[in-house]
Structure formats: structure tokens, C-alpha cells
Amino acid sequence: MNAPDTFVQLLARTRESFPASTKSYITGSRSDLRVPVRDIALTNGEVVSVYDTSGPYTDPAATIDVKKGLQSVRAAWIAERGDTEQYEGRKPVALDDGRQSEDAARLAQLRQEAAALQRQPRRAKAGANVTQMHYAKKGIITPEMEYVALRENGKREWMAQYQQDPAREQRLMGNPMGAMIPKIITPEFVRDEVARGRAIIPANINHPEVEPMAIGRNFLVKINANIGNSAVTSSIEEEVEKLVWAIRWGADNVMDLSTGKNIHTTRDWIVRNSPVPIGTVPIYQALEKVGGVAEDLTWEIFRDTLIEQAEQGVDYFTIHAGVRLAYIHLTAQRRTGIVSRGGSIMAKWCMAHHKESFLYTHFEDICDIMKSYDVAFSLGDGLRPGCASDANDEAQFAELHTLGELTQIAWKHDVQTMIEGPGHVPMHMIQANMTEQLKTCHEAPFYTLGPLTIDIAPGYDHIASAIGAAMIGWMGTAMLCYVTPKEHLGLPDRDDVKQGIIAYKIAAHAADVAKGHPGARARDDALSQARFDFRWQDQFNLGLDPETAKEYHDETLPKDSAKVAHFCSMCGPKFCSMKITQEVREFAAAKGVAEEAALAEGMAAKADEFNRAGGEFYIPIHPAKS
Amino acid sequence: MNAPDTFVQLLARTRESFPASTKSYITGSRSDLRVPVRDIALTNGEVVSVYDTSGPYTDPAATIDVKKGLQSVRAAWIAERGDTEQYEGRKPVALDDGRQSEDAARLAQLRQEAAALQRQPRRAKAGANVTQMHYAKKGIITPEMEYVALRENGKREWMAQYQQDPAREQRLMGNPMGAMIPKIITPEFVRDEVARGRAIIPANINHPEVEPMAIGRNFLVKINANIGNSAVTSSIEEEVEKLVWAIRWGADNVMDLSTGKNIHTTRDWIVRNSPVPIGTVPIYQALEKVGGVAEDLTWEIFRDTLIEQAEQGVDYFTIHAGVRLAYIHLTAQRRTGIVSRGGSIMAKWCMAHHKESFLYTHFEDICDIMKSYDVAFSLGDGLRPGCASDANDEAQFAELHTLGELTQIAWKHDVQTMIEGPGHVPMHMIQANMTEQLKTCHEAPFYTLGPLTIDIAPGYDHIASAIGAAMIGWMGTAMLCYVTPKEHLGLPDRDDVKQGIIAYKIAAHAADVAKGHPGARARDDALSQARFDFRWQDQFNLGLDPETAKEYHDETLPKDSAKVAHFCSMCGPKFCSMKITQEVREFAAAKGVAEEAALAEGMAAKADEFNRAGGEFYIPIHPAKS
């Protein structure tokens, strides 16, 4: 796995399409506005089209060269606005790559690899504000907003056949819990949501490669995956492969939490090759620059780091400006104190200097930087609870109130803002947390880590937290930060990342269905219909992980013929449902039973076989009968 | 895995205690009333005691011989009541083991193995009613009820230290959603709950080996695991090992859903070796007896099968008596029709004969059998939804209403009763389903399968359903039937069973914490405290799966010394939190900073390291720094 060519191979493999899937594009009002979707061809001729986060990597027509970076999506849009300028940019210094950098020769080589990726940075012209929120407030619908609208809608035509029964639609009508999701998302709706701060479109002007997406409670619930570099960075392919792997499985956003060597160079690699927004926690890099000594941090070093990363194209910054000096003592009686790394760095700084946090005192200065590049705030919850018994406590809510105040300051500067949330919250306290956030932060998008509903599941915290994530997503959280099975224990490997993402795709989709998102449930309907019709291959392909579904099925019935067979490993071929259905109908006809009864009986028999072929409750553990 | 001796070895392995764990017993009002708990010894001298479903298998003092069966727990209690009699019992016939039995020589051998397990059956004396509900209504507190009370409480003394902060307890106070869980469960409380039908104690008089447990909304939420025999039954050890594996990981109940060969003999093996209640679906065996032809089922064959299984000691029967002729047409417009196997068998029978279900018409006859052995009803939901779009529909609720009527008939006979529930229900419809059940079925315990909240996660349905299970458990469901990752796809193997059980232990515990069960949250507190204190080994051992937690940790830090180290793989040994805490305190003292501030700073620094050592949000993917 560590040999560079292995990662090249892995990267090539993750360029393969999902089974029976084709990338297609919805074109907007201009020819360079092309929104990707994944069309899944079913064996019965239907095509189901789904949201696609995987970027150009799964487009066979795209030429990928990670050493050159992705093609630009937005460069023309940004240029056309005429409010930005290219400039020489901040001069890189050796310290940008940390104190523990490679030997000189190796570093020179790495930098040379990154050199081809360098682009001259762009910033707002003097006096200009280039945020999507600024345009939105001025009534301008940007191409980014139109892109988001088309993306949220996707292709809805195929859904109609699953939504024809008004009684069913009425019965299944979601409970939006205060969200107001229109049937069709218009570009104007996107603009309005961004203008009022209820949604953000993270899209740094220096990240023109990004495929715009929205985070907001009136849009599909999104998920974030965290990646980070290794101390031994073997190659650009390795770093990019982590990213590609995450977006392949459905990560809508990726945070680069690197703290190792070559931190600046790695970030160049990631941003230039990422079709999804990239978030960072700039204080991590700033801390590396001062040798890991929190007290030595200064506003100047931090500010320089913000500009460094903004120029590289980072789309949102986690900034723990709500960790105020006055709140730190509130954590003293906690069971697990402060568990946010950024939060504890700032707490340490505040205490060492006995001064208010420079993130708080310089918040408007930070806004000035953010609006020059359209970097969005992800206001960090440095005082979030680290265990169930610290949930919804005074420290957490004191900080949340401050984040609400800061949100209004950010909005004054038209800087897009979302709010980070916990962490560890038992089920019965999730609603209160969500309500507090909506109220305190004026509906700025909430972006939570889980929350974990219990503490006793190390090794399975992706599950313990998917429960909380689904619930809080339903209640109004806009983006869910994933948790992997390795949480609290060690470093997630490739499979852990996938497990975390799938668990969170489940949570996000469960939330969308519960909210009644008009484009959410049809995929479930299509899959369940395929299940009932014994279209096994369609059932796999409509799932979140076709490979694993097929693999599990094939453990007992590997032959291709079984994929179209009306039976499975549970009861074997004697119970072909079509045959039994036919028999029942003949029987009903012969006996002169009423048509309705015959239909009902046919359904029952078919259902019987359906159940035998993979029903829910009564799965007998035995192989196929002979 | 298929060689008999391999299963002997597996069985021996699952007899090992969990790490740092000792089985101990709480003795009740009589010396033969000994309730097992698992005491976990922590490295700081504390002992945490938890509910233990694993039976004598994890007691080193117990002699286990699967060919003789477990020692009896309840035989004396049953005998002392003086209301039962031993009798010759139903005469076994060859058909009991199904039509596809082994060759004669093999079958003779298998029966010989089972022979040592045979016990002469017991039944109620003429006119007697031997159900726990009958005793409860008469005001009698049985040893079973006292056992349940002691078991639900466990050892609570160790919890006190985690519950000393009144403000915290107030903040974390659960939301019982209508449950009324006393601080301490008394035997009288158990009696009252059983008398009013709000809880059941499944305990057939012919299953004296069972360690009594309760299923009811005012008790800990329980989980059920399904097992079943293979077509090729290699040995008694293999069958028993499946059972032991399931209870080792926490299954409170096990359903034997065998439909293969030697179905009767296998059941003897399982019941005689099971310390947990065993449930079955008798219609499965009855169907085997008529060669799989649903129309050929008769009341007489079914009745005979009930007596056969009641004599063997099955503790509860799933009976789909709510699938009435009049409801079948309600499934005709469903997306996935009838997905319960038992439901579809009965639907087919009703339609073929165009008659009301014999389960419904003979329901009082069935009650007569149930009360002679104290077999509990698990009234099956044969019309449960098989996909999200069929959730909470007319067919489902029509059947539920009938189950409510049948509950009252069962209660008239003092037969213990629980109600089975779905299945597939989106999050926003779970509350309505639970409310309908509580209202319609008069608070008889609800026993649901999941529910799955979405349909698009084949391969991960244990997660998609754990979300629904946690929520419905919080809202009032008493027992959760597990779903494994192989759901809808194939036969769960050993690891799938474990994955399903762990996901459901998470759901059940999340529900207990949310309800505010007074004995639930302390284990989370103990684990989180261990986490904060860097007691790694304690953190593993307090979790639901110590082996996996340790294994994940050891992937990067395998040495024993790392188990007590104040660092982990995330940031390495440079950041010893104790050292930093000490430094911060010295610094604070030197600067004359106020004590509170120093404390706060110490907490912050320690928390910083805590986070570095496995914090929640910002897990950088990099190995230990050098």
C-alpha cells in the first residue's frame, strides 16, 4: 500500500464507474454550467438518477493528471464578475511546511511536484466583497447558485411513477420540523437562502475546480469526511487517492486536518484535485509554525496562515472564536473537560496570557480576509461535550451564544457562516441542542459531529453516532461530520473511512426522507420495487454500496443466473414466486374466486416468496434446499 | 468450521470470560435464587458491574456438557408451586423432524445424542393456570419475579460516584416518553407490571434452565437474535455454539427459526442448553409437516405442533393470528405486499379456503395450551410493511387493532403477551406507530424488527435499522429484534450475527439512556472517565466489544506499555497530558494566577492532550510523531 505505484493503481481503480452507472450532466443557462449526476440503468429499462459527489474522476471522458490538477469549473464565472484581481500573493516560507520537514533534497522534489499545481492567487479588488452571500444580498443569482439549484433537483422525471398514489404520498408526507423545502429548488430560492444566511455555498475564488454545493436545512443533508496527511508523505497520488476514495462513497465536503510534514505542499495537492469544498482548521498549521507551543501563537502568525490558506483555495475555515476566556472555567467540573483540539489550544492561550482570545478580538479582521476570497466560516465548537454527561451544559451553550453573536458580525460583512456542533448528546437531548442552535444562531447552518448517543461503543462509534446524526439531521442540521469505527482508538484506514461515510450517507438519507425532501424517497421506492420484483442486480446497484451488497449475496449464490432468479440462498429455487403466483391465479380462476381475492392471493403468494427470498424477520439460517 | 471438533473448540473459546471480568451472583431471598452479573475490574480499583446474558458458559465454576444440557435454575420453584404434573407427553413421530430427514442411520445417531437431553414434560394440573401473569394477578410474587427485579437492578453501589452532581443529574434527566421506571425495581413492581400485562417473563415450565428476564417498557430494553439450523446439521455442538455466541454478545432472547432437517431434535439441543428464553414460529414446523403446502395446513396439525414445542420448553410462540381474511386485500396495492413468512403462509391458507384464519378462530384454544405451559404469545405482525412506502398503512394498522383485541382475550386467560412490530418505518413515522401500538394493544410489550428507516442500504441494514430501533426503543418498545448486515441478501454468518447484536446493544442502550433508566448511564460515565484518565485498558473493557476496541487501538500501538501511556497513536508520546497538566499548574502558581483559572487551565491542557489522544472531531490521519 505504501509503494507509490500502488496508489497510482488505487487511484485508477477508483476512477471506475459504479456498476451500471453513467455520469451525465444537466446543462444550465450557459453551456459551461454542467451539473453532474449519476444515472443508474436498471434491468427493466428504467433509469434512476442520483446526486453525484465523485467529480470528474468517474467521468471516462475526463483526463485526470493529479500533477496538473482538475480542470476549472468556475474560473470564467469568477473572472466575469470583474471584482477580483490576480496578484503575486504571499511569499511562501520554509515554515509553511512545518518544522519537521523532510530533508532538503526530498523537500525540493516534493515542491517541484507541487510547482505545476501553483496558480497565481486571486483576491477581491480593493473595497470589493466577493462572497456568494454578498451577491445574494444584492439580488444577484450567480452561476454557483444556479448550479446548486440544478444539483439539488437532479433529474426528477423518473420519480413520477413512484409518486402516483396520492393516498400514499399523503400518508408518507414528511415532517420537516420547521424546514421549508420547496418541491423544486429554483436559483432564486438558492439566492434567497444564501442571502438570509440559512445556506452557504463554500466556494473560494481560488478553488475554481469546485463543483458548487449548498449546505442548509432546506437542502439535502450533506456529509463531511476528514482526511489528513501522513508523517511520511509518499506521493501526491497517495494524498489525492484518499480524497477520491472519500468522494467516491459520497462525501460532500472533505476537511484536510493534516498536521504532519509538508503541510502546505500537501494542501496544494488536495485543493487542486478536489471537486468538493475543502475545509481546514488553520490553527493547526499555525501551531506547527510555533513548534506546538500554544502560548507562542500570535494574531500575526494566525493571520498570515489564513491568507496562506485562502490563497491556496481552502473553502471554509474552522475558527474557534467562541472559546472566550470567561467560559474556560465552566469546563472545570466536566467529566471530560475540553475535547476539541482547537478549543484546547485557544483555552491554553487565553489562560497563559490571561487575555481574551485573539480570534474573538480580531474577529472583524478575520471577516475582512474571508470576504476577500469568499472563504466561509465554520465557527468551531471548542467547548463541545466530550461525553454524554457533559452534553448541553453551560460551557457548551455559552459558547453557542457567542457563535450566534459572531454569526451576526460575519453576516454584517456578508461572510458565509456555518456553526459546528457536538459531539456527544444522548437522544433525548438532541432536540434541545438543535432548538438552541436554531434560535441562537439565527438558522445559520448547523454542522455536527454525530452526535454520539452513548459512550460505550468504542470500535462501533460510527453506529452510535449515526443514530444521533440521523435524528439531528431530521431536526435541522445541514451537514453531518462523519465518525469512523476507529474514533477514540486510532487512525482510520481506507476501509474505516468508507465505513464512516456509508454510515453517514444512511443517516443523511434517513433525515432527508423524514423531512419529506421531495427528491429523497423515490430511490428507496425504486430499490424496494426491484427487491419485490427479484431484480437482484438492480437492488445492488441502487444501494449505497453495490459491491458489498453483491458480495454478500454471492457468498451463497455466486452464479450470474442467480441475479435474475426469483429465489435466493434462503430457500432455493423450488419457490419461484412467478410460478407460484401463476399457480395461485389459475387456482383462483378455477374456483371462481372473486378477482380481488385472486389478486390478493397472488400478492400473498408472491410476497411469501419474496420473504423467503430475503424477507425481513424470519431469516432461517440454512443454505438452499436441494 | 464444519468439522465437529472445530465447533467444540469454538464453544470452549466462547466460555472464556470477557477481559478483566468475573461472573458473580446476587443472591435473593432464597439460596437457590442467584442472579448473574458481570463484574469488570478497572485498573484504578473500581469495579463496574453489568447485566449478563451469557449464562453459565462464562462461569468457570460451571460444568458444561451440551449433551446433558444446562443445570436447572427453576425446577424447584416450579415443583414447589404444586400446580403442575409430569406426564408421558405427546408421542414423537418421524414427521416431527420434517420430511427431508437424514438417512435412518444418521437420524438414529442424532436422536441418540438428543436422548440424554429428554426430560419428561410437565403441564398444568387439570384446571390450573401456571402462567406468571396468573400468579401476578393473584398477588403472588414468584421467584421468577424476584429474580427479574434483582437482575434489572444489578449492583448499583458503584454508580453512586458518577451520580453525585445534582445539577448534572437534573440536566441529563431522561425523557421516559410515558414509561414509569422506578429508581429501584422491587419484586412487587415486577409482579404489578406482569399482572397488568405491561411486561412478560417468558419462562415455559418445561424450560427450567432459563435465567428469568423481563420484557416491558418499564425495564431495560432487550434485544433478540435469530438463529436457525442448517440443512446439514453436523453436531449438537454446532447448534449450541450459535446460541452461546449470540448470548455472549448480549442477546437477551433467541428465536430458533429452523426450517431445515431434524427440526425437532435441534430444538431439543437448543432449549436444553439455553439460559435465555427461546422463541419459535410454530407455523414453520407445521408447514414442514405438510410438505410446504400452505393450503394443507390444518388446525389439528398446528395444535399438535404447539403441544410438541410447548413440551420441549419453548418460551414464546410467534402466532400470526391477526392476519384475517378481510385484511388480505388491503395489501394488494402495496409496493412489497406481504413480507412476513408466517403472514404470507396464513394469507395463502385463508385465500385458498376462503375462510377466516384458523389461528384467529381457534385463538381461545391456543390460549388453553399456552396457559398449561406458560408459553407467552408473541403476536406476529404478518402484515408489517416491507418497505418504507408501505409503512403505517391500513393493512398494518388493521392487523394491529386485531392484535389488540387478541391481547385482551389472551389476558382473559392470563396468558402473557407481546406484540410484534415492523419492519420498515421512516423516522418521522415511528412515533405514530408506537403511539398506535400503545393505545391499541393496551401497553402490551412491543417487540419490533428495527425498524429500518431507509431502504437503500443493503449490506448495512443493521445500521439503517439501528437508527429506528434506538428511537422506537426510547419511545416505548420493550424488545428489539436484531437485523444483520446480510438482511435482504443472504445467510448471516458468525460475524454477521455479532455485528447485528452489537448494533442492537447500541440501540437498546441509547434508548435506556434517553429514557433515563436510573441504571443505564453510569457505564458511559465510567468509560468516559477512563478515556479522560488515559486508562486505555479500562476504556476497552467497559465497551460492548473489548476485543475489537483493543485490536483497533493496537493496530498502531501494540505494546502493553501503551495501554497505560498517556498518549496514543494520534500524536505520540511527546504530549503526556499529566506532564503538561503539571507544567500548567506550576506556571499558574508562578504567575500567581487565581486558583480557578489554574484549574481551568489545567483542565484545558489535559483536555488538549485528551483530544490529541483520541479526540472526537479533529483526528489527523497520521502516525505517531517521533
Note the ipTM here: 0.92
| Chain B from 595 to 624: CB within 8 A of any A CB | 596-597, 599-601, 603-608, 610-612, 614-623
Closest chain A residue to the Cα of B563, Cα to Cα: A489
CA dihedral B403, B409, B413, B417 (to 10 degrees): 10
Q: What is the pLDDT of residue A333?
A: 83
Number of residue pairs across A and B with CB atoms under 8 Å?
565
**Cα gap A23→A16, rounded to integer Å:** 11
- Residue A462 confidence (pLDDT) above 90: yes
Say if the Cβ atoms of A528 and B386 lie within 8 Å.
Answer: yes
How close, in Å, is residue B524 to chain A by CA atoms? 5
**Residue range A502-524: mean pLDDT, rounded:** 97
Average pLDDT, chain A: 88
Which of A474 and A622 is assigned the larger pLDDT? A474
- Backbone φ, ψ for residue B480 (5° rounding): -115, 120
Q: Is A260 annotated as a binding residue?
A: no
Name the more confident of A569 and A406.
Answer: A406
Tell me which DSSP letter residue A438 carries: H
Q: For residue A491, which of B570, B558, B566, B610 has the smallest C-alpha distance?
A: B570
Distance CA A470, CA A492 (A): 22
Share of chain A above pLDDT 90, in %: 71
Share of chain A above pLDDT 70, in %: 87
Residue where the block lists cell 454477521: B496
pLDDT at B617: 30
**C-alpha closest to that of B74 among B255, B189, B204:** B204
B387 is annotated as contributing to ligand binding: no
Residues (pLDDT < 50) of chain B are 1-2, 566-601, 606-607, 609-626
Q: For residue B511, which of A453, A190, A614 has the smallest C-alpha distance?
A: A453
Q: What is the 3-state secondary structure (H, E, C) of A238-270?
A: HHHHHHHHHHHCCCCEEEECCCCCCHHHHHHHH
Give A230→chain B minimum CA distance, Å. Answer: 4
Assign A44 to helix, strand or coil: coil
Q: Which residues contact A545 (CB under 8 A, 6 or more apart)?
A: A249, A498, A502, B457, B458, B459, B460
Residues of A in contact with B328 (CB under 8 A): 597, 600-601, 603-604
Q: State the smallest CA–CA distance between residue B541 and chain A in angstroms.
A: 10
Going by C-alpha positions, the residue among B477, B408, B470, B474 that lies closest to residue B437 is B477
Which chain B residues have a beta carbon less than 8 Å from that of A553?
Answer: 489-490
Which residues 6+ apart lie within 8 Å of A63 measured at CB? none
Number of Cβ within 10 Å of residue B20's Cβ equals 18
Listed by number, the residues of chain B in 196-235 with a beta carbon closer than 8 Å to a beta carbon of chain A are 226-231
pLDDT confidence band for A559 (50 / 70 / 90): low
Predicted pLDDT of residue A577: 38
The owner of cell 492532550 is B609
pLDDT of residue A6 exceeding 70, the answer is yes
How many CB atoms neighbour CB A558 within 10 A? 11
Burial call B224-262: b when 16+ CB within 10 Å, e when fewer? bbbbbbbbebebbbbbbbbbbbbbbbbbbbbbbbbbbbb
Residues of chain B in contact with residue A620, where contact means CB-CB under 8 angstroms, are 228, 257-260, 284
Q: Hey, what amino acid is at B92?
A: P
Query: Residues of A numbered 121-180 whose beta carbons fall under 8 angstroms of chain B's beta carbons: which are they?
Result: 162, 165, 168, 171-172, 174-175
CB-based contact A587 B352, cutoff 8 Å: yes
Alpha-carbon gap, residue B199 to B503, rounded angstroms: 24
Residues B527 and A387: their CA atoms lie apart, in Å, by 9
DSSP state of B375: P
Which B residues in the span 457-476 are in contact with A, Cβ-Cβ below 8 Å?
Answer: 457-460, 462-464, 466-467, 470-471, 474
Digit-coded pLDDT (tens) for A147-183: 999 999 999 999 999 999 999 999 999 999 999 999 9
* Facing residue for B604 by CB, picked from A338, A424, A474: A338
Q: Which one of B357, B390, B621, B625 would you mutate to disrupt binding with A, by most A Cβ within 10 Å of its Cβ? A: B621
Report how far residue B444's alpha carbon sits from residue B420's, in angstroms, rounded to the nearest whole number: 10
**Chain B contact set for A486 (CB, 8 A):** 552, 619
The DSSP H or E segment spanning A508 is: helix A494-515
Closest CA to B20 of B555, B548, B547: B547
Residues A296-329 have pLDDT tens digits of 999 999 999 999 999 999 999 999 999 999 998 8
User: CA torsion, points B258, B264, B267, B268, in degrees to nearest 10?
Assistant: -170
From B423, B458, B528, residue closest to A540, measured CB to CB: B458
Put simply, the answer to whether A389 touches B509 (Cβ < 8 Å) is no
Contact of B345 with chain A, judged by CB distance below 8 Å, is answered with yes
Do residues B510 and A464 lie in contact, with contact meaning Cβ atoms separated by under 8 Å? yes
DSSP for A65-93, written as a single string? -TTT-PPPSSHHHHHHH--EEE---PPP-
Taking CA atoms, what residue in A is nearest to B583? Answer: A352
Question: Which among A336, A388, A615 has the least Cβ separation from residue B513?
Answer: A388
Angle CA(B187)–CA(B188)–CA(B192) in degrees, nearest 5? Answer: 120
The set of cell numbers assigned to A421 is: 456542533
Prior bond of B450 cis (ω within 30°):
no
Run of H or E including A226: strand A222-227
* pLDDT score at A306: 98
Residues of A in contact with B340 (CB under 8 A): 611, 615-618
> Which residues, in sequence order, are CB contacts of A160 under 8 Å at separation 6+?
none
* CA distance to partner chain A, nearest, from residue B535 (Å): 12
Q: Three-class SS string for B62-114?
A: CCCCCCCCCCCCCHHHHHHHCCEEECCCCCCCHHHHCCCCCCHHHHHHHHHHH
Residue among A24, A10, A15 at smallest CA distance from A52: A24
Does pLDDT of A65 surpass 70? yes
pLDDT value for A14: 85
Contact between B521 and A601 using a beta-carbon 8 Å cutoff:
no
**Of A434-438, A554-558, B141-145, B150-154, where does mean pLDDT reach its minimum?**
A554-558
CA distance B223 to chain A (A): 14
Q: Which three cell numbers stand for residue B201?
A: 417473563
- On the question of pLDDT at A359 being above 90, the answer is yes
Where are the alpha helices (H) located in B183-336, listed in sequence order? 187-195, 236-248, 263-272, 282-289, 299-312
Q: What is the 3-state secondary structure (H, E, C) of A95-116?
A: HHHCCCCCCHHHHHHHHHHHHC
pLDDT of residue A575: 37
Contact A392 B171 (CB under 8 A): yes
CB B169 within 8 A of CB B162: no
Counting DSSP H helices and E strands in chain B, the numbers are: 23, 15
Q: For residue A410, which amino acid is it? A: A
Closest by Cα among A496, A107, A116 to A263: A107
Least Cα distance to A252 among A514, A505, A625 occurs for A505
Q: Give the integer Cα–Cα distance in Å for B359 and B281.
A: 13
- A527 chain-B contacts, CB cut-off 8 A: 455-456, 458
Quickly count: other Cβ atoms within 10 Å of residue A39's Cβ. 17
